[in-house]
Structures are given as structure tokens and as C-alpha cells.
Amino acid sequence: MGYFFSPSAVKSFCSANHIGNETACFAVGSTTARSLQPFTQNIIVAAEASGQAMIKKAKETFGKL
């Protein structure tokens, strides 16, 4: 699981790491989500561009497991 708050964070992380398709990646907004697309299709976007919205989305997502 990864939480990304900006496209530059995605670029930095992915320059040194590999994201597997089984890894859930949470994006703070649509621009950050687009920057994740070359690396994974398992992208979950928060309803609002805030840390709290990302935490809420993670709870909703993993509460369904």
C-alpha cells in the first residue's frame, strides 16, 4: 500500500522502487493518479485532495476485505 500526495512523490518513489499490481496506491487527486498510471493500474483516488480524505478512502477500501 502506498499513499501519494503529489506527482513528484510518485516520480521520486518509482525511480527507486517497483510497484506491483497487487499493491494498492492511494492518490490525493486526479493529477497524482495520472502520474501513477505508468506504474500500476491499482489506483484509488480520494474524494477530496486531503490527507483525511485519503485515510477515509483507505478505511472504506480495506473495510470491504
HEC letters along 2-63:
EEECCHHHHHHHHHHCCCCCCCCEEECCHHHHHHHCCCCCCEEECCCCCHHHHHHHHHHHHH
Q: What is the pTM of this model?
A: 0.86
Its domain, for residue 16, covers 2-63
The model's pLDDT over 3-56, given as tens digits with 9 standing for 90+, comes to 999 999 999 999 999 998 889 999 999 999 999 999 999 999 999 999 899 999
Confidence at 65, pLDDT banded by 50, 70, 90 = low
Kindly report the number of other CB atoms within 10 A of residue 13's CB atom.
Answer: 16
Confidence at 1, pLDDT banded by 50, 70, 90 = confident
Q: Give the count of domains, the chain.
A: 1
**Residue 6's domain is classified under what CATH number?**
3.40.50.10090
Q: In what order do the strands lie in the sheet with 2-4?
A: 2-4, 25-27, 43-45
